Structure 1
Amino acid sequence: MAPPVPLLAVRGSEGTSLLSGPPRCEPHPAFQRDTHPSRCLTFSTDGTLFGWCNGRSVHVVKCIDGSTVSNFELPKTALIEFSPLNNILVTWQPYTKTQDSPQGEANLRLWELPSGRPIKSLYQKKVDSWCPIWSEDEKICVRSVNNELHFYENNDFNSIANKLHMQKVSDFALSPGTQPSKVAVYVPGSKGAPSFVRLYQYPALEGPSAALANKSFFKADRVSMHWNRKASAVLVTASTEVDKSGASYYGEQTLHYLAVNGETAVVQLAKNGPIYDVVWSPNSSEFCVVYGFMPAKATVFNLKCEPIFDFGTGPRNAAYYSPQGHILVLAGFGNLQGQMEVWDVRKYKQVTKLQATDTTWFSWCPDGEHVVTATCSPRLRVSNGYKIWHYTGSVLHRVDLAAGTELWEVRWQSFPVGSFPERPIKYQAAPSELGTTQATPTQAYRPPALRHMPATPSSKLHEDEPPQDLRPGLSGEKSLSKSALKNQRKREAKKAAKQEAKRESEPSTVSAPVSSSQSEETNGDPETDKKIKNLKKKLKAIDELKEQQASGKVLQKNQLEKIQKEEQLLEELRDLQVGQ
């Protein structure tokens, strides 16, 4: 059976339309374009339903034939969402007060589909986390209310089945999948106490041993939490608004890992600077982090938080895995030039490099073969439009809106996992009448006064780092070009020379404890020899930590305490050796 053809929903100042997806994008024959500008649109989780609000009413139709499922006279609706099994439609409108209703009206409403019967009306003043979160089987629904998490079961919203009360709960994330459901809860720190994230498995929410995992940390004004698809681990990006050290305009970020088996860790990043993006691979065993001052690094880590592949540096601030997990796009949007690197993550080989200037939106098509890039208002009010690409770089469809019209949103139809098989990756551009848009080679900045003069070799403002395979047993040299490999070897040789010069300049009393010749000396007293051996082992570990610190790696508190004990250990070692 051939896989289905995805739909693309387009919303703008000229109305809402549905297009039959790539490679050719034509109006969906069963959907009549709504000419009224709509405020919001969405697809159901399985992609069978499509809903939108045009400022007059909320419409829900079937994607396959465009037939009406329900209509709701809710002109002020700003957001809508379907429950995972399409039993409930959630609508939200801004919270307002009037003279007739000084307490305000309930602005979050739940409706039964397809009957249209109202189920529950609730108050939700803030747009943040406005929608209740369901488990995929709809047996559990969670909502945050006044420092509490309210759990409802089997879509019965007349009674709260369970509560998790913690002081100042500000965010939560429900795990994907079915039962048993797990929830990650964030509580910000106060009065000198650290912030923390805890994992619970429903319904075991109370008691000192109820938490599956707990991770506390300082420097966190807010967090973002990302579960992997298998619901076995969650990544927590902790952020502060201001970097008190003054090193970063973007504040300060740290990345933490929590697993349902109780394991926790701080993900060590090889470059200082902001964390721009964190994304799980669909296989749930790897994740990619884009981080560091520009040019930013991108690294893939395993579940032990060990780096397995480093993509080097580049103008990027976002990462996007294909739905099948076999392709990764590293992109630089926003204030960057729109460069997109397409990588085969099975071989860790670059497929192509594209340029999509002024892109404000990127999304993978569910088929894992195509992507859409768009320039939308209000982020950019000029040159609005969108392009459909094949991942090899070919532009298959392009729409540029006329001056005076705006594009607000484009969205692919959703599909259940496994609806589209993984196909072999191609390295040759797919045929297209619109051609390809390859990224232009970047050149080093030259001051205007020097631009008329011949270019001369000079030191670079930023040192570009090539990709490197960090998996055990693999050198990564196959993924490097000859020039990149040559530069890498030069850097390694330079670093080794500096370390050697440092050793030679150190006093003999400092270098003696870690020399290999002295490690073979014995005192004749087994107990003393054992103490000397242990001290040398600790000093060697301290040297390794100092080298890591010098290379820019951020050390943990216990590692810094070890370095501070170096003088004490050297003194103990000298006392033992004097007695020999």
Structure 2
Amino acid sequence: MATTQFYCRQPKSIELINGQPQFDSKFETTTEKPDCKASQYSPSGKIFAFSEPQSVVLVDVNTGAIVKKIEVQDVFDLLFSPLGSYLCTWSKPIKNEFGNWNDNVKIWRIPKEDPTDVKLITEYSSKNQTGWSPQFTGEETLMTKVLNQSEIGFYKLGADTIKLDKPVDTLSVKEIGKIQSFNVSPGKNPSVAIFIPEQKGQPASIRVYSVTNFKKPVSQKQFFKGERCQFTWNALGTSLLALVSTDVDSSNKSYYGETTLYLLGIAGSFDQRITLNKEGPIHDLAWSPTGREFGVVYGYMPAKTTFFDSRGDSIFSFPEDSRNTILFSPHAKYVLVAGFGNLQGTVDIYDRQDKFAKITSFQASNTSVCKWSPDGRYILTATTSPRLRVDNGVKIWHASGKLCYVKEHTELVSVNWLPQDLALFPGIKKTEIACEPHQSAVEYLAKRNKSSGNASGVAKPSGAYRPPHARNSAAPAQSTTLWQKEKLMNDASQPQPMTSSQLASQPRQKVIPGAKPVLPPGLPIESKAALKNRKKRLAKKEKESTASPEVESAPEVPQLDTLVIGGVSSLEDKKIRSLLKKLRAIEQLKAKQIDGEHLEDTQVLKIETEPKVRAELTSLGWSE
């Protein structure tokens, strides 16, 4: 059985690591300065390329030997053609002495027979790093490149040079509009899809042309509310998903605009808008490797995950949950549905061939990269920079949810699997046993369990939320809420009224006509109406206590040391109540954050003021 491999790129080093079961280093290089800006495996699975300040280095993935150093300076991006026969590089654009931009995009031919015989076949200028790369047909017979805002040129491959001023064919839509994006399909019968955004009152449109006939599209769709479009082809190149988005939501329900999904079939000129039965953005979508179905994660959190067939009909849906990522395994047996980004990192694995039966769930917190291995048995999750600057590293999980390998890095920039044909690996059996974890995984789990005080390794129930300052104390969390504590403090700050029996036990005061009445000690001065209402309340309370004498006595109210002057709370008490109100609002926001709800920047800043609020409360004599 073939061995999988993945690379890890740091600012100052590159490493190729073999997969299960060895997890040993195949190739490693380091530099004194953070010079490595780009790296990529070739789709053929034979070459690994990475950039240096003065060159691009080609490495044989099987031996770990350096095959060739291509002399080209300051390469910031790399791209291989579908079969790995061509390498495209993008360097930082520089103006020459005449004020013209240099040819910073270069295309190199890498012969399969002799990878050392690398030749430059063409070059051109592209100032923007976004959208700089040319595209190739699946069998590398044609290369496409944007000529201007309304034209795409097609060039024949195979010769030692490409004349960019003489394309073999041109797709032009000058009479319709400007091309915002395009994508060439995989497969043996290539097509090209273009997106024309709405302008001057004209609707946006998606058009799909066969590369052999640009006169009439084989499929098209027109609509309004379209500013950008992301194309996703199935593996056969016979169906296309178009995710159309706008910057502004006309219904004012979202800050992030609107998203709409369209399905276009090349055979039979089929097109349809996919009906999603929950409002909200489309988080992720993915085609099955079979090309006959796809999955979509959509809607406001908790999101919904639904699977559709190649005609856009719904076939299955998972219960709503906090998820925003979906990935099919290479053999289409497993489906991964996870919640990354600002969610908790829960990963669910389902068996597609067993009616979407759930296999396992595990936690991969702070994940920014998630990939299935080429054999469909393992899952790579990684935390990379600059998405997150802490806890960078790679974890390899078995499909059963078992952690197999861990490698921590100070700063990890990029990571990916080596592309390999699925035929190199045996099929997955139902009785297949998960691998034995690598020593790195054993040490990582032991360290994590020790820090959490869980020697058994079994996850403990989370229980009720406790604020950070109270988590390490031995005393159990009190069930009294901040609102209840505030109410108790307010009640304690007011003098307790006397009952009728207490009033009767007081000595009779002598009444002097024209003088103010002398009230019993502790009783505040009140108006006649207030006195009348108080007597009514006392009479009602005595009546209720007489009717139900067996009712248990109320729990003793904790006494708070408050300063009360003439029945009015002091300034300190008012300040404490105000701070408690702020603290209660902060805990409500933290609960929303734990549930995965999106918080505004002002709400996040409010949470960060918690230590300051608690410090003020402590200085005023308040305690939990």
Is TM > 0.5 for Structure 1 vs Structure 2?
yes
The percentage of aligned residue pairs carrying the same residue is 33
TM-score (norm 2): 0.67
Amino acid at match of 1:143: K
Structure 1 residues 186 and 385 mapped into 2: Cα distance closer, same or farther (>3 Å)? same
Equivalent of 1:330, from 337, 352, 364? Answer: 337
Q: Secondary structure at the match of 1:407?
A: coil
Q: Secondary structure at the match of 1:78?
A: strand
Alignment of 1:2-21 (within 5 A): 2=1, 4-21=2-19
Contact 1:326 1:422 in 2 (8 A): no
Q: Secondary structure at the match of 1:418?
A: helix
- Counterpart CA distance in 2 for 1:265 and 1:54 is 47
Alignment of 1:138-153 (within 5 A): 138-147=140-149, 148-153=151-156
2:385 aligned with 1:382: no
2:417 aligned with 1:412: yes
1:441 Cα shift?
7.3
1:345 Cα shift?
0.8
Give the total of aligned pairs: 441
Map Cα deviations across residues 450-508 of structure 1 (whole Å, 9 max, x no partner).
Answer: x84399xxxxxxxxxxxxxxxxxxxxxxxxxxxxxxxxxxxxxxxxxxxxxxxxxxxxx
- Unaligned runs of at least 5 residues, structure 2: 111-115, 446-456, 469-476, 482-624
2:374 maps to what in 1? 366
2:287 aligned with 1:283: no
1:247 Cα shift?
0.7
Contact 2:55 2:73 in 1 (8 A): yes
Structure 1 residues 439 and 274 mapped into 2: Cα distance closer, same or farther (>3 Å)? farther
2:364 maps to what in 1? 356
1:186 maps to what in 2? 195
- Counterpart CA distance in 2 for 1:51 and 1:362 is 21
Amino acid at match of 1:65: T
From the CA coordinates, give the structure whose radius of gyration is larger: 2
Contact 1:360 1:375 in 2 (8 A): yes
Equivalent of 1:235, from 220, 235, 241? Answer: 241
Contact 1:360 1:376 in 2 (8 A): yes
Alignment of 1:55-204 (within 5 A): 55-98=53-96, 100-113=97-110, 114-147=116-149, 148-155=151-158, 157-158=162-163, 159-166=166-173, 167-178=177-188, 180-204=189-213
- Counterpart CA distance in 2 for 1:221 and 1:445 is 43
TM-score (norm 1): 0.72
Tell me the C-alpha RMSD between the 2 structures. 2.4
Contact 2:103 2:124 in 1 (8 A): yes
Contact 2:52 2:74 in 1 (8 A): no
Equivalent of 1:453, from 445, 470, 479? Answer: 479
Amino acid at match of 1:177: G
- Counterpart CA distance in 2 for 1:44 and 1:421 is 23
Contact 2:11 2:37 in 1 (8 A): no
- Counterpart CA distance in 1 for 2:285 and 2:103 is 36
- Counterpart CA distance in 2 for 1:339 and 1:367 is 23
Amino acid at match of 1:406: E
Alignment of 1:140-539 (within 5 A): 140-147=142-149, 148-155=151-158, 157-158=162-163, 159-166=166-173, 167-178=177-188, 180-206=189-215, 210-260=216-266, 261-347=268-354, 348-401=356-409, 405-416=410-421, 418-425=423-430, 430-432=435-437, 434=441, 452-453=478-479
Map Cα deviations across residues 3-58 of structure 1 (whole Å, 9 max, x no partner).
Answer: x1121111003400111112331111xx3434454111111111011110122321
Map Cα deviations across residues 264-313 of structure 1 (whole Å, 9 max, x no partner).
Answer: 11100111100011110000000000000001110110112111110111
1:395 Cα shift?
1.1
Q: Secondary structure at the match of 1:138?
A: coil
Contact 1:45 1:416 in 2 (8 A): no
1:83 Cα shift?
2.2
Map Cα deviations across residues 150-187 of structure 1 (whole Å, 9 max, x no partner).
Answer: 11112452131110011311111111122x21111111
Amino acid at match of 1:174: V
Q: Which moved more, 1:239-248 or 1:60-69?
A: 60-69
Amino acid at match of 1:108: V
Contact 1:214 1:258 in 2 (8 A): yes
Amino acid at match of 2:418: Q
Amino acid at match of 1:356: A
- Unaligned runs of at least 5 residues, structure 1: 456-580
1:33 maps to what in 2? 29
- Counterpart CA distance in 2 for 1:439 and 1:352 is 15
Amino acid at match of 1:153: K
- Counterpart CA distance in 1 for 2:98 and 2:316 is 59
Structure 1 residues 62 and 163 mapped into 2: Cα distance closer, same or farther (>3 Å)? same
Higher relative contact order (CA 8 A, sep 6+): 1
Structure 1 residues 129 and 422 mapped into 2: Cα distance closer, same or farther (>3 Å)? farther
